[in-house]
Amino acid sequence: MNGYQKGTAVLGLLLLLIVVGAIVRQERQPKAVQLVPALTGRPELCLTCHQGIEEISPSHPTESFGCVLCHGGDGLALDKELAHATLRGGRNPSDLAVVEESCGGSACHSGAADDGRDHIHRVLTSVQATYAGAIAQINFAFGGQADPAAHFGIVAVADGNITTETGVASLSPFQPGPDAPGPVQTFANECLRCHVSAAAINQPYFYRAAGCAACHVIYENDGLYRGDDPTTPKDVPGYGRTHQLTTAIPYTQCNHCHNRGNYSLRQMAFLERDDLPGQPNLSAQEQRELEKLSIEHIAAQHPKDTIVADHSVLPEIDEEFQEIYLHAIGNLTFDPISANIDKSNNDVKVKLQKYFRRAPYKTQNELDDFLVNDRWGAESVINRGNTIADFALDYWDFQSV
Predicted local distance difference test score (pLDDT) of residue 392: 83
Give dist(CA 307, CA 300) in Å, integer. Answer: 10
Q: Name the DSSP class of 325.
A: I
Give dist(CA 192, CA 353) in Å, integer. Answer: 28
Predicted local distance difference test score (pLDDT) of residue 9: 63
Which residue ranges of the chain lie beneath pLDDT 70?
A: 1-10, 12, 19-30, 275-294, 301-317, 335-365, 397-401
Predicted local distance difference test score (pLDDT) of residue 34: 94
Q: In what order do the strands lie in the sheet with 157-158?
A: 152-153, 170-173, 157-158
Predicted local distance difference test score (pLDDT) of residue 57: 94
8 Å CB contact between 347 and 303: yes
pLDDT tens-place string over residues 135-145: 999 999 998 99
Give dist(CA 188, CA 136) in Å, integer. Answer: 12
Q: Specify the 3-state DSSP secondary structure of 136.
A: helix
Beta strand 170-173 with 152-153 is parallel
| Residue partners of 245: CB distance under 8 A and separation at least 6 | 56, 57, 60, 213, 216, 217
* Domain ranges within the chain, ordered by starting residue: 31-87, 125-198, 199-291, 292-396
Predicted local distance difference test score (pLDDT) of residue 66: 96
Predicted local distance difference test score (pLDDT) of residue 306: 35
Predicted local distance difference test score (pLDDT) of residue 262: 77
Q: What is the DSSP string of 45-114?
A: -GGGTSTTPPPS-TTS-HHHHTTHHHHBS-TT--SHHHHHTTBTTTT-TTSTTTHHHHH-STTTTS--GG
8 Å CB contact between 357 and 368: yes
Predicted local distance difference test score (pLDDT) of residue 372: 80
